[in-house]
Amino acid sequence: MARSGQAFGRTWWGERFLAALERFTNPGRLQRGRAYATNGRIVDYGIERGTVRAQVRGSINPYYGIDEEPLYDTTIRIAQIEPSDWARVIRRISTRADVITKLLQQEMPDQIEEVFAAEGLHLLPHSKGEFKTDCACPDWENPCKHIAGVYYLLARDLDRDPFVLFSMRGLPRKALQAELLKSPLGQALASGLTSEPPAPESAESLHARPTKVPPGAPASHRAFWLGAHRLPPAEPVPQVRVPALVVKKQGDYPPFWHRDNSFVEAMEELYERVRTKSPELK
């Protein structure tokens, strides 16, 4: 579930991306970077071949000899997954109809992390070592506030398009979907997703039009009540005897029974005596 009331990390994958940053980044720098991402100081931003490139307006600082507002070149890269590892992940995804369906529908599957974990990998970054960053500013600490600001724009893009993360990891959207369509399961699911519904047929009216039906010959009262053909004789229904049903509902010791023996057994014995003396009850 995404964090509410914020412009970044609105999806679960965007939130986990920011959570990874928070584990190894100074909170103060993240806060200043967030401000850079929201106040228009990042004037040029784009993602090309898995690398984020941006230009960020810095601050005037006479102490460092900066008398005019500078413009810093900033880059961010995430460690890419090797082609052989991607092949293993694709093979595993190709056996999961739930994951393939979501990916073909341009959605991030909830189970995507468990698929990568089964191969000893992960799609979302987990450590500082997976990020390679650079900024032209004089700040020696990494990430600086300029890099942190670009991080937030990247999180925003991940919210909008989860396939940005696949591209940053080395497998663009089209390449991923092409690999999925090579599997029999991917082909079957893709055909179901792309099949077009039948075209609607035009009609003269939205309502059924009444039609005239010629009346038949009037029936006599006898034919109306008895019908044209006589019904077959009813077959006799065999009687089903349930011995002492009402008695057995009372149980062995009903409230009115004060003897030590079972009320049901006593009544069964009585019924048996009556049947023996009166053959017509059998």
Q: What pLDDT score does 4 carry?
A: 39
Neighbour tally for 125: CB within 10 Å: 19
Neighbour tally for 98: CB within 10 Å: 11
Q: Which domain holds residue 253?
A: 243-282
For residue 130, pLDDT over 80 is answered with: yes
Say if residue 254 is in the same domain as residue 182. no
Note whether residue 264 is domain-resident.
yes
- Nearest in space to 99 (alpha carbons), one of 109, 89, 114, 87: 109
Per DSSP, helices labelled H in 39-172 are: 83-93, 97-104, 112-118, 145-160, 163-168
Amino acid identity at 117: A
- Residue 54's DSSP bridge partners are 45, 74
Calpha distance 270→282 (Å, rounded): 14
pLDDT digits (tens, 9 = 90+) for 68-126: 888 999 999 998 899 999 999 999 998 888 888 888 888 888 889 899 999 999 888 88
For residue 137, pLDDT over 80 is answered with: yes
Say if residue 171 is in the same domain as residue 249. no
On whether the pTM is more than 0.85, the answer is: no
Of the pLDDT bands very low, low, confident and very high (cuts 50, 70, 90), residue 184 is confident
Q: What pLDDT score does 89 carry?
A: 92
Cα–Cα distance list, 177 to 112, 201, 203, 261, 267 (Å): 15, 35, 41, 80, 79
Say if residue 23 is in the same domain as residue 157. yes
Note whether residue 66 is domain-resident.
yes
Q: What pLDDT score does 147 carry?
A: 92
| Highest mean pLDDT, choosing among 164-178, 188-202, 221-235 | 164-178
Give the number of domains in the chain: 2
Note whether residue 6 is domain-resident.
no
Note whether residue 45 is domain-resident.
yes
Say if residue 18 is in the same domain as residue 143. yes
Say if residue 170 is in the same domain as residue 89. yes
Helix (H, G, I), strand (E, B) or coil at 14: helix
Of the pLDDT bands very low, low, confident and very high (cuts 50, 70, 90), residue 2 is very low
